[in-house]
Amino acid sequence: MIQRFAAQVPGTDSFLKVKEGTLALISSDSEHAGAYFLIYGFARSYVILYEDQGIDPAFAETAKQQLLSYMNRLNDAFASGKADDMVAAQNWIVLDYGRSGKIF
């Protein structure tokens, strides 16, 4: 899902695909449901906030890069296989989002 999202043009359609994909992963991989739900929430918020608006391409790219950084952070934690890494990644994401412009 990360590679597909990275390759797509930034905008609500690409965020909608992440939302749908993470919702499916929540059901199929309950061990990581919390991490998927975090990404799902960000993608869902972006779609709700911007689906009926014309978005500046630079803004859309910024949002895409922010979500990609979160997805990659979680992917690295998945790869480690350590529960502590997963918790640390989720905490980092929540704190980073709180310090960010909260664009989604």
Q: Can you give the C-alpha Rg of the chain in angstroms?
A: 13
Give CA–CA dist 28/63, Å, rounded: 27
Band the pLDDT of 72: cuts 50, 70, 90: very high
Amino acid at 64: K
Closest residue by Cα to residue 37 from 60, 15, 21, 51: 21
Is residue 9 helix, strand or coil?
coil
Give CA–CA dist 61/64, Å, rounded: 5
Distances from the Cα of 70 to the Cα of 29, 36, 52, 53, 64, angstroms = 18, 11, 25, 24, 10
The pLDDT, as a whole number, for residue 16 is 97
Q: What is the pLDDT of residues 9-61, one digit of tens each?
A: 999 999 999 999 999 999 999 999 999 999 999 999 999 999 999 899 999 99
